[in-house]
Amino acid sequence: MNISQPELRSEKFDDDDDDDNNNSDVAISGDRNVIKKEAEKIIKYKDLAIEIQRMWNLKTKVISVIIWATGTVSKSFRKYVSNIPGKHEVKELKKTAILGTAHILRKVLM
């Protein structure tokens, strides 16, 4: 059985800094290629970041946050999360990924 779920959610974080724009790409991944997935997401949005810099004269940064469906994260996860404005607990982010996976499985298996 193939269980698919939307893997991409992009958000704009605005922490009222004058000329900063952060776009994040949050993916919940079930495969074992988290490092590869991080690199893909960064490459995917690099052109967009450059275009935003040119069009609106803003500093941009691509932030890639990947969590496995089991809650496992990469070594660079904390570094990326620390770049997102606001307070984010790694335990809570992992818990959200696991609960989301469990919700999908319950819907499919019932």
pLDDT at 55: 94
pLDDT for 26 beyond 50: yes
Task: Please state, in angstroms and as integers, the Cα–Cα distance from residue 77 to each residue in 11, 86, 110, following that order.
Answer: 17, 16, 33
- Band of the pLDDT at 3, cuts 50, 70, 90? very low
Task: Please state, in angstroms and as integers, the Cα–Cα distance from residue 4 to each residue in 28, 43, 91, following that order.
Answer: 11, 23, 24
Q: Tally the domains of the chain.
A: 1
Q: Does 28 fall in a domain?
A: yes
Sequence-distant (6+) residues with CB within 8 A of 10 are 23, 24, 25, 26
pLDDT at 40: 87
pLDDT for 77 beyond 70: yes
Q: Does 53 fall in a domain?
A: yes
Q: Does 33 fall in a domain?
A: yes
Residue 27, helix vs strand vs coil: strand
How many angstroms separate the CA atoms of 9 and 2, rounded?
A: 21
pLDDT at 56: 93
Model confidence, pTM: 0.56
Q: Does 3 fall in a domain?
A: no
pLDDT at 85: 87
Range of the domain at 27: 9-109
- Band of the pLDDT at 12, cuts 50, 70, 90? very low
pLDDT at 2: 39
